[in-house]
Amino acid sequence: MGSVPTSASHFAALPTAPRDEIFALLGEFRRDTHPQRVNLGAGVYCDNDGEPFPLDVVRTVEKSMNEKADPHRHDYTPIEGDQEFLALARKFVFGDACDESRLTSVQTVSGSGANHVGARFLANTIRPRRVWLSAPTWANHELIWATVGVPVHFYPYYNAETRALDFAAMVETLEKEAEANDVIVLHACAHNPTGLDPTKEQWIVLGELCQRKGIFPFFDNAYQGFASGDPSIDAWAIRHFAQLQPPIEMCVAQSFSKNLGLYGHRAGAFHVVATGEGCTPAAKDAVTANLAQIIRSEYSVSPRYGSDIVKAVLGNKDLTRKWQAELHTMAGRIIAMRVCLYEELRRLGTPGSWTHIIDQIGMFSYTGLTPPEVTYLKEKFHIYIHSSGRISIAGLNTKNVKYVAAAIHAVRSDPSLVTSA
């Protein structure tokens, strides 16, 4: 009997895909046993003791769910999702700014799933020549749009010299280069990673620009209520675009990971706002059917535990009121930590300007720390930060903020490290 011929593996020459830096940092942090280690990489809210923060209102709902022991609690949701959850999620985003007849919604695997389902849907339907992303943006945006085959272009957003939003350059680029049917991804609030948002006046300019040029707005709404503490304030830009006259078509990817602390339960939704000639009930049904086909091909149905919690909170006025109080507390702690870090850096006389820390909003701050400084902070002080210099303010607390400030001061004062300050 002859020997079985051998051949090289199909995967022998497979190139290594880059690791996700945030999750890689989290892994390093978890393996670190240093008593003063600090995690400023992952976007997860922690309390003042650096511990996870399950919301009281979520625990109340979970207790009720456990006591009820609904025999259907493990059933599949429909492919398009739980309709009661979707109606409440729509209301939370749009308020009264958009007629229900214009809205189509499906449940998704949190915000990442909403972004991907939305990108695939638009790539299949309106077939944009390009998508415009902010420079910088959440890392997953570029990956998602690349996987659906839409060329990615970047519009200026962050000015490294001023540590501020470069709105003039953003508008100039979009005016000169963006074309009708292009998609533009906009962060509804608490821009990730910079923490810099347009003002209301600037949002009005962007709305007019999209309306006039026929650019399709795609809002990523990951932090509603978590940025300012007020969900209506954080939804202002979306609601403004939804009320433009003449109306425009747009979409929204929505996540409940941050504002309800449901990170691992993946509760989200994707909403399409349609308008114009041919926008009929039949066309709306076709949108739902096409979205459902994408969902079916990728993961069949969304997880229900997180959406059941969202449904219980948003469907009860008393629970909604208690939740919004907790949102206010979380947002307030983050704002307070920004002030503490800023004041401590000022007290130490740390080289550089640090006012951007208190000018920014939301979970993240673009500090201006350089990659060599970030590496030094990790190796010498066990402080874990993204290489871009982005820090998660939620990882700061009254017990570690002085340590972090002292470490930044030591790094920024070291002449052997090249900085951009």
Residue 15 lies in a domain: no
Asked whether residue 270 falls in the same domain as residue 371, the answer is: no
Q: Considering only CA atoms, which of 272, 307, 401, 302 is closest in space to residue 347?
A: 401
- Alpha-carbon separation of residue 297 from 83, 154, 163, 294, 301 (angstroms): 20, 30, 43, 5, 10
Asked whether residue 334 falls in the same domain as residue 350, the answer is: yes
Asked whether residue 162 falls in the same domain as residue 178, the answer is: yes
Q: What is the DSSP string of 223-269?
A: -TTTSSS-HHHHTHHHHHHHT-SS---EEEEEE-TTTTT-GGG-EEE
- Alpha-carbon separation of residue 86 from 53, 304, 413 (angstroms): 26, 12, 52
Asked whether residue 209 falls in the same domain as residue 305, the answer is: yes
How many CB atoms within 10 Å of residue 346? 12
- HSE-CB of 329 using CA atoms within 13 angstroms: 15
Amino acid occupying residue 100: E
User: Is the torsion defined by CA of 173, 175, 176, 182 positive or negative?
Assistant: positive
Asked whether residue 249 falls in the same domain as residue 291, the answer is: yes
Q: What is the DSSP string of 130-174?
A: -EEEEES--HHHHHHHHHTTPPEEEEE-EETTTTEE-HHHHHHHH
**In the prediction, which pLDDT does 413 show?**
87
Backbone φ, ψ for residue 221 (5° rounding): -110, 80
Residue 13 lies in a domain: no
Asked whether residue 260 falls in the same domain as residue 396, the answer is: no
- Residue pair 31/380 in contact by the 8 Å Cβ criterion: no
User: Which pLDDT tens digits describe the chain residue by residue (421 residues)?
Assistant: 566 666 788 888 888 888 888 888 888 889 999 999 999 987 788 888 888 888 899 999 999 999 988 888 888 899 999 999 999 999 999 999 888 888 999 999 999 999 999 999 999 999 999 999 999 999 899 999 999 999 999 999 999 888 899 999 999 999 999 999 999 999 999 999 999 999 999 999 999 999 999 999 999 999 999 888 899 999 999 999 999 999 999 999 999 999 999 999 999 999 999 987 777 888 889 999 999 999 999 999 999 999 999 999 999 999 999 999 999 998 999 999 999 999 999 999 999 889 999 998 888 889 989 999 999 999 999 999 998 899 999 999 999 999 999 999 999 987 676 544 4
Q: Which long-range contacts (CB under 8 A, 24 or more apart) does 372-380 make?
A: 372/417, 372/418, 373/411, 373/412, 373/417, 373/419, 376/411, 376/414, 376/417, 377/407, 377/408, 377/411, 378/28, 380/407
Q: For residue 152, what are the β-bridge partners? A: 131
Tokens of 292: 């459902």
CATH number for 92: 3.40.640.10
C-alpha span between 301 and 77 (Å, rounded): 6
Domain of residue 139: give its range: 76-315
Asked whether residue 211 falls in the same domain as residue 266, the answer is: yes
- Residue pair 144/109 in contact by the 8 Å Cβ criterion: no
Asked whether residue 239 falls in the same domain as residue 383, the answer is: no
Residue 182 lies in a domain: yes
**In the prediction, which pLDDT does 421 show?**
43
Asked whether residue 234 falls in the same domain as residue 220, the answer is: yes
C-alpha span between 136 and 32 (Å, rounded): 29
Q: 219: alpha, beta or left, given left = phi > 0 and alpha = psi -120 to 50?
A: beta
Asked whether residue 306 falls in the same domain as residue 324, the answer is: no
Domain end call among 246, 281, 315: 315
Asked whether residue 45 falls in the same domain as residue 138, the answer is: no
Give 285's contacts (C-beta < 8 A, 6+ positions apart): none
**In the prediction, which pLDDT does 2 show?**
61
Active site residues: 138, 220, 258
Residue 69 lies in a domain: no
In total, how many domains does the chain have?
2
- Residue pair 195/222 in contact by the 8 Å Cβ criterion: no
Domain end call among 284, 315, 346: 315
**In the prediction, which pLDDT does 218 show?**
98
**In the prediction, which pLDDT does 382 show?**
95
Say whether 389 sits in a helix, a strand or coil: coil
180 DSSP 8-state letter: T
